[in-house]
Amino acid sequence: MTTIFLDCFDDMIPLWNAVGAAGDPAVTVNVEPGQPADIPALLAGHDTCIVDHSYFDADLLGRCPDLKHIVFLGTGASSFIDLAAAAKNGITVHTIKGYGDTTVAEHTIALALSAARGVAKMDREVRAGQWRQVEGLQVNGKVLGIVGLGGIGREVARMGQGLGMQVLAWNRSPIDSPAAPLAPLEEVLARADILCLTMALNDDTRGFLTAERLKLTKRGVIFVNTARADIVDNAALAALLREGHVRHAAIDVFSQEPPASDDPFLGLDNVTLTAHAGFMTPEATMTMLRRALDIVKSVGG
């Protein structure tokens, strides 16, 4: 049996070629925009596939009888693959963690600094012919609150400390050697001048930052989300932005991507938005692809 990379982008090909090494299994690379057509036919004869963005519902999984392993390029496989149906069909889904910790953390800090200094807002105004100096927030000495001290959170903590910030973090599970001082969630929310959400989305964290928890934050807080949109009560966050309780939100993730035209954040001036691009650097992509190949080797693809 063989392996196919089901949905490789054109611009990913040079990176894919760069990470290959002697002894790697042969992988057929399919380059087709969007969701590839006739996936069952493409997967026929392959027991393993590498997947970047294709969707596998229960019906599609049931029509791929040769498939035994899916190597998903990232951590959020449940957004693209019906995991229960995969298990029912004897298909193991592999994910890749930690490949972009530094890259996502850099994007998190970039959004925090942009929000603190009004970079996006001034850029829009200067382009529109307006010249108005916006007063910013000096981050040195301020409290950086981190909700979720996993790989990305640890990197955010390291970078925040490098900026002279007082880092305070909360994590759902105990940590033996935390990268920053830990505190109860309520204290992190109440003390943070800049609050960064870097926790994973799962059944336990969906809707975790409720309206009540968001209201615990201090007036004038900057909120940065490079995790997942559905961890947050976004209607409550939008209301707090309109009220001025939240000074600015910087958001890289949406419940619907791209966001719908009536998404409330699109109409707010005190919001900076990016297109779920926190993980997108050549370095992170190459690490991810190399780990995908290692997984294929380990399952005998």
**Cis before 40? omega within 30:** no
3-state secondary structure of 253: coil
- Has 276 been annotated as catalytic? yes
Which residues lie closer than 8 Å to 19 by C-beta, 6 or more apart?
286, 289, 290, 293
For residues 214 and 88, give the distance between their C-alpha atoms in angstroms, rounded to a whole number: 39
Q: Say if CB 109 and CB 159 are below 8 A apart.
A: yes
- Has 186 been annotated as catalytic? no
pLDDT of amino acid 25 = 92
Tokens matching residue 12? 């990913």
Which residues lie closer than 8 Å to 235 by C-beta, 6 or more apart?
211, 264
Q: Which residues pair with 3 in a beta bridge?
A: 27, 48
pLDDT of amino acid 36 = 85
Residue range 252-257: mean pLDDT, rounded: 94
- Has 94 been annotated as catalytic? no
Of 241 and 301, the one with more pLDDT: 241
The predicted-structure confidence for 100-148, as pLDDT tens digits, reads as follows 999 999 999 999 999 999 999 999 999 999 999 999 999 999 999 999 9
pLDDT for 208 beyond 70 = yes
Residue range 83-106: mean pLDDT, rounded: 96
What is the 8-class DSSP label of residue 78?
G
pLDDT for 249 beyond 80 = yes
Q: In one letter, which amino acid is 251?
A: I
> In Å, how far from its chain's centre is CA 82?
19
> In Å, how far from its chain's centre is CA 271?
18
Residue range 193-197: mean pLDDT, rounded: 98
Question: Which residue among the candidates 228, 247, 248, 290 is catalytic per the annotation?
Answer: 228
For residues 135 and 121, give the distance between their C-alpha atoms in angstroms, rounded to a whole number: 11
Query: Residue 1's pLDDT band (boundaries 50, 70, 90)?
Result: low
Q: Which residues pair with 209 in a beta bridge?
A: 232
What is the 8-class DSSP label of residue 142?
-
For residues 73 and 51, give the distance between their C-alpha atoms in angstroms, rounded to a whole number: 6
Query: Residue 4's pLDDT band (boundaries 50, 70, 90)?
Result: very high
Q: Say if CB 149 and CB 178 are below 8 A apart.
A: yes
For residues 8 and 14, give the distance between their C-alpha atoms in angstroms, rounded to a whole number: 11
pLDDT for 24 beyond 90 = yes
Question: Which residue among the candidates 186, 206, 257, 283 is catalytic per the annotation?
Answer: 257
pLDDT for 301 beyond 60 = no
DSSP string, 2-38: EEEETT--GGGHHHHHHH--TTPPPEEE---SSSPS-
Which residues lie closer than 8 Å to 54 by C-beta, 6 or more apart?
6, 7, 35, 36, 39, 80
Question: Which residue among the candidates 117, 191, 213, 276 is catalytic per the annotation?
Answer: 276
Residue range 9-26: mean pLDDT, rounded: 93
pLDDT of amino acid 112 = 98
Instruction: Read off φ and ψ for residue 93, nearest 5 degrees.
Output: -105, 120
Q: In one letter, which amino acid is 187?
A: E
pLDDT over 70 for what percent of the chain? 99
Instruction: Read off φ and ψ for residue 253, nearest 5 degrees.
Output: -135, 145
Work out the number of other CB atoms within 10 angstroms of the CB of residue 1.
12
